[in-house]
């Protein structure tokens, strides 16, 4: 392997799209707290720490999952030989170290959230991933907590708590569907994921029920006066996309979990616009 291929492999380990998405969610958490302009350094540190931590978590996840990925994802960096397992481990530790350094400049609540999340990222694959539903719930918490981390960085949780709950529900739905997609490799590795424990269809029904709870709760930020009407205008098509994606997953879990991302992205836009019209009224 050339140096260029190795660098590309290391970048792939971080899942750049996920890194950017998580960083954006942290920024949204700070934004909905209404204090981005007052604490620009804290917001920048929180956003960067999130990106580094997510990249580190993805890299170490690939390190622990390298045998499963030889079956489920053979094109990933470690199975195809672009990065050695040891190289992936060292790379993840460097990213974790940088994330910790940035998090330590933030308020105590943000540091506490960062400490919990970093421990969870490291323990996820080896401790929680194979427990039916538990690993899924942990990932859902981690995604939702980016809103809390961003808000805590500027010292005010506020409406970020509601966003945490909604994001966690949507993520938990997607994680269950993704386990259905990966069931062959997970069974080969001896993991006991939710679809393996209770069956694929039942797991998808659980995912559907969770999403419906999120759909029912989605108007609450508007009714609580924390988001403007623009939020509703955008969140309605977002939940429609997510509902269709969940329905689609019964026939094609790969397409379903991919399309669920689009609905989640549109919901994130709804959070920004909906809060923006309150914080910056025309």
Whole-Å CA distances, 270 to 106, 145, 151, 177, 238: 27, 18, 17, 24, 8
Is 57 part of a structural domain of the chain? no
C-alpha 31/C-alpha 51 separation (Å) is: 17
Residue 41 resides in a domain: no
Q: CA of 165: how far to CAs of 5, 91, 105, 144, 267, in Å?
A: 39, 32, 26, 7, 13
Identify whether 53 is part of a domain: no
Count of the separate structural domains present in the chain: 1
Least confident span in 49-58, 101-110, 202-211, 255-264: 255-264
Q: Could you give the CA distance from residue 30 to residue 61 in angstroms, rounded to a whole number?
A: 28
- pLDDT above 70 coverage of the chain, percent: 96
User: If pLDDT is split at 50, 70 and 90, which confidence band does 106 have?
Assistant: very high
Domain that holds residue 230: 156-281
Is 92 within the bounds of a domain? no
Confidence of residue 157 (pLDDT cuts 50, 70, 90): confident
pTM for this model (two decimals): 0.82
219-228: string of b/e by CB count within 10 Å (b at 16+)? eebbeeebbb
DSSP 128: I
Residue at 99 is within a domain:
no
Residue 258 forms part of a structural domain: yes
pLDDT the model gives residue 125: 67
Q: How long, in residues, is the chain?
A: 282
Separation CA 169–CA 247 (nearest Å) = 16
Q: Which two structure tokens, joined as six digits, stand for 52?
A: 């580094």
- Dist. CA 109–CA 105, nearest whole Å: 11
Does 41 score more than 60 pLDDT?
yes
- CB of 14 closer than 8 Å to CB of 58: yes
**Is residue 80 in some structural domain?**
no
Residue 163 belongs to a domain? yes
């Amino acid at each position: 392997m050339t140096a260029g291929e190795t660098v590309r492999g290391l970048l792939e380990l971080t899942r750049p799209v996920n890194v950017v998405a998580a960083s954006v969610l942290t920024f949204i958490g700070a934004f909905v707290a209404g204090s981005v302009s007052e604490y620009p350094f804290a917001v920048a540190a929180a956003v960067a720490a999130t990106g580094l931590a997510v990249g580190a978590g993805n890299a170490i996840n690939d390190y622990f999952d390298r045998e499963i990925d030889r079956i489920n994802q053979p094109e990933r960096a470690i199975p195809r030989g672009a990065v050695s397992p040891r190289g992936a481990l060292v790379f993840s530790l460097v990213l974790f170290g940088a994330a910790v350094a940035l998090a330590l400049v933030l308020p105590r609540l943000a540091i506490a959230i960062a400490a919990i999340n970093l421990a969870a990222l490291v323990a996820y694959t080896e401790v929680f991933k194979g427990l039916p539903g538990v690993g899924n719930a942990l990932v859902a918490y981690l995604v939702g907590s980016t809103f809390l981390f961003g808000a805590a960085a500027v010292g005010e949780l506020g409406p970020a708590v509601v966003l945490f709950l909604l994001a966690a529900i949507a993520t938990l739905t997607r994680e269950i569907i993704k386990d259905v997609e990966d069931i062959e490799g997970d069974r080969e590795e001896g993991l006991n994921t939710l679809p393996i424990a209770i069956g694929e269809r039942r797991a998808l029904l659980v995912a559907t029920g969770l999403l419906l709870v999120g759909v029912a709760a989605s108007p609450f930020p508007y009714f609580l006066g924390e988001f403007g009407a623009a939020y509703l205008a955008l969140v309605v098509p977002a939940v429609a996309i997510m509902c269709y994606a969940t329905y689609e997953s019964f026939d094609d879990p790969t397409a379903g979990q991919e399309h669920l991302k689009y609905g989640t992205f549109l919901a994130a836009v709804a959070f920004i616009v909906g809060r923006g019209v309150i914080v910056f009224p025309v």
